[in-house]
Amino acid sequence: MAASDIVPTAPWIDGSEALDAWLAPIAPATVVGLDTEFMRRNTFYPQLALLQLAYDERYALIDPLTFNMGPSLKRALADQDVVTVMHSASEDLEALSPLLPDGPHTLFDTQIAAAFVGMGLGISYRALVAELVGDELDKGETRSDWLQRPLTDSQKLYATLDVVHLHPVHAILAERLAQRDRTAWHAEDCARLKARASHRDGDPQPQRSFKGSSEWSPEQQALLRRVLRWRDATARSQDRPRPWLIEDAQAASLVYEKPRSLNDLESRTRGQRALRSAQRQELFDLLAHPVTPEEIEATAPIAGHPMGDEKRAISAMKDVIDKLATELDLPPGLLCARRSMEEYVVGKQWPESLEGWRRGVLFDRLSPLLPG
């Protein structure tokens, strides 16, 4: 049956009592489908505009702009052993984080599951539904304004259809995961995704992405980390994009060549929309304050671009991973991302991203290839 032939009924819920009544039948050890529509408009956090739920062939569209649905969602989806099915959930979890700070109790990400069962890395929900259910989803409302009210009938239908197929897709993928003995691996990756989304303090080592600063002194790298963590915390508190405070290139420049005065800092950061006088003073003080030994100790060194023996080691590791991925029928990028290989080779420490089931599969194969 085509999507156009399906006209599911989904009540519009804009209050706690109606939501609690809809959620009431959901019991432990059951499966709930969930999707969101959100917008990014000059904010740090995505603005949640709509929540769609599916349970036992019932559907609901919930308006987060009219009431705080957090307590109801937490009771139904986080406080009891319910499996919440989502597709490519990272941004949805971020949008939901003010309401579900630790995410749902158990996450089942259909995009991750599809990768584990041989359907490729990063498959779209539309392609997944077409492959598993034989239905073609309409893309007409992809770029809609989901913050407008009232939503159009077309928007409501589009949003509802996004959750109609989550249950059958989950059932098929769960069975295929079990057949391949990949259920535990998938569950681990979903838990890892959920944990990343719940990190409310941001990346504790944001300087690691500044590869061009790998030759800087330990003091400079620690100061860069200090400035980037301040930027992240301030952007979160103001709910403004990080570049509105300082852009990456500005952060590196200010650390490498500290401003001589507050006026110098103002001149070098003119035009930054969220960097008001109070934040500019905070930033100047951060740059002027000496780096402590404790900060240097807590700063992970920035790994530069691989060179010489390191490049050869990465090439050898890639050959091993490609061969193993073929044997396991997994995408190589799911087994081990290139950035994880580079982190391991350059930093000489087993990456956190390769812990869990990946350590058991990869460590004995990759560690002998590490350059001395």
Give the span between the Cα atoms of 90 and 3, in whole angstroms.
26
pLDDT, tens digit, for every residue of 323-346? Answer: 999 999 999 999 999 989 998 998
How many C-beta atoms lie closer than 10 Å to residue 119's C-beta? 18
Give the span between the Cα atoms of 83 and 120, in whole angstroms.
23
Residue 64 has pLDDT above 90, yes or no: yes
Check whether domain 3-197 has CATH 3.30.420.10, yes or no: yes
Residue 372 has pLDDT above 90, yes or no: no
Which of 101, 146, 109, 152 lies closest to 128, judged by CA? 109
Burial 84-113 (b: 16+ CB within 10 A, else e): bbbbbbeebbbbbbebbeebbbbbbbbbbb
Give the span between the Cα atoms of 237 and 276, in whole angstroms.
14
Please, are residues 280 and 262 in contact by the beta-carbon 8 Å criterion? Answer: yes
Map out the domains of the chain as residue ranges: 3-197, 206-298, 309-369
pLDDT, tens digit, for every residue of 202-243? Answer: 889 999 999 999 999 999 999 999 999 999 999 999 999 999
Are 3-197 and 206-298 equal in CATH topology?
no
Give the pLDDT score at 357.
98
Confidence of residue 1 (pLDDT cuts 50, 70, 90): very low
Give the span between the Cα atoms of 126 and 252, in whole angstroms.
41
Q: For the residues 299-313, what does the mean pLDDT come to?
A: 90
Confidence of residue 134 (pLDDT cuts 50, 70, 90): very high
Give the pLDDT score at 4.
45
CATH number of the structural domain 206-298: 1.10.150.80
pLDDT, tens digit, for every residue of 99-120? Answer: 999 999 999 999 999 999 999 9
Please, are residues 324 and 365 in contact by the beta-carbon 8 Å criterion? Answer: yes
Choice among 56-60, 172-176, 301-305 with the minimum mean pLDDT: 301-305
Cis (ω within 30 of 0) for the bond into 150? yes
Give the pLDDT score at 141.
66
Q: For the residues 45-63, what does the mean pLDDT come to?
A: 96
